[in-house]
Amino acid sequence: MVFSSLTFLFYFLPITLLIYYVVPSKIKNAVICIASLAFYFYGEPKYGILMIISILSTYIHGLLIEKYPNQKKKFLISSIFVSLGFLTFFKYTDFIISNINMVVNGKIDLLRLSLPIGISFYTFQMISYIIDVYKGEAKAQKSLLKLATYVALFPQLIAGPIVRYTTIASELDERQHTVEKFSLGVRRFVIGLSKKILIANVLGDLINVFGTTSEKTVVFYWMYAIAVTLQIYFDFSGYSDMAIGLGKMLGFSFPENFNYPYISKSVTEFWRRWHITLGTWFKDYVYIPLGGNRVSKIKWIRNIFIVWFLTGLWHGASWNFIIWGVLYGVLLMIEKLGLLKRLEKIPAFFSRAYVMFVVIVGFVIFSSTDLNSALNNILGMFGIGAISIINHDTIYYLLNYLPIFILGILFSTPIIKNIVVKIKKKVPTLINFFEPITLGILLIVCVSFLVDGSFNPFLYFRF
């Protein structure tokens, strides 16, 4: 089940909210937990048990760490081994086998396991919980129900944001439910749904056309590259918006995951604005424990390489993801070694153009099925090969999709938001009147698209 489906919008969500708000406070967590497990089992009936086993393992290990402090390190290692063991087995086994076969010319059969949805996200949440308990930054959760609610919480279960236990620990015990918070949640959810349905899905149609056409041109390669860049942003940030909105409806406050990354003036700034919770996770649980930048230059370079190798690998069991991650690691290293100071001195237009060029090329690598297709797409963008600059088919698709490109570029910046904020300061009644009407229209249009069958699964479900 996904948020952008009629089943979720008209059955699961209203029924869950109705029951949640009717029952007494002391059993609200139980309602959320049961609903979250039902949500997951609906989409992953085979692997729901796997998640429950992971939760039980994390719960028991957390109690053992707190009860036996002299042996807590072995319990920490044991817990992480179990969590990463499941993730590695289901996500990376075939990748490891295929690479062994390639190196030694072997013929080991692939297992061809399907990837449990959301395993990368909920695994990181459980690891952060167990490390925080180990470090004494969080108390071990005595209630299995509350820990299960935290891990399985359906708004952020499938594709984040990666919510740390310490962020919502107090809200598992007691949280506020207000009309204002609920309305803000609805607003955020509708905005996220609109990003997904009205922009990401439409761009997805163009990407599908590009994949099937034999009439590719240089301009069409760039249209594809920009479409991919915008689609990934609106797909993933749209999901994060919906998750944050659903959290507010249930009384939770989830961390922000995106902050207009495409206006960044350096790659360093980009990664402060893109997938914020993942970047923070790697910084706090990998980079800093390795020594961060408070070590020798060689070790610092090693730390950056490890973090970005793992960042790429986390996104998928394929070399294009690893190269994508390492590419960013190298660029961040170059910026920190001196480029960053130079970027600060040049006009913002040029620094932003540099970032967007890197991001667009990076996402072409990221979204490709393999290294060969990534290389072919990049070569095509620069006219290398027997391809024309433009043709009639390209012009046709460019004219048809130009409005969505303009909207995508516009809404990937804070321009509209800033205009609305200024108007609200001067004429608050105007925004208060038109905002609910606009949100209502957007919801109706989104539902119309879903009824019409215009639907794509969330891209980050693959990870």
Radius of gyration for the chain, computed over Cα atoms and rounded to the nearest angstrom: 23
What 364-367 contacts at long range (C-beta under 8 Å, 24+ apart), as own/partner pairs, is 364/224, 364/225, 364/228, 365/320, 365/323, 365/324, 365/327, 366/232, 366/315, 366/320, 366/321, 366/324, 367/228, 367/232
Q: With both helix axes pointing from N to C terminus, report the angle between 392-411 and 201-212 in degrees, rounded to the nearest 10.
A: 150
Please say if 315 is a catalytic residue: yes
Catalytic residue among 61, 177, 315, 392: 315
Q: Which tokens is 95 given?
A: 């990748």
CB-based contacts of 358, cutoff 8 Å, min separation 6: 267, 331
C-alpha angle 238-239-243 in degrees, rounded to nearest 5: 120
In 3D space, the residue among 410, 110, 78 whose CA is nearest the CA of residue 234 turns out to be 410
CA distances (Å), origin 316, targets 91, 223, 308, 311, 357: 8, 25, 13, 9, 23
Backbone angles phi, psi at 163, to 5 degrees: -95, 120
In terms of Cα–Cα distance, which of 146, 152, 132 is closest to 52? 152
- Neighbouring C-beta atoms of residue 57, cutoff 10 Å: 19
- Which positions are annotated as active-site residues? 315
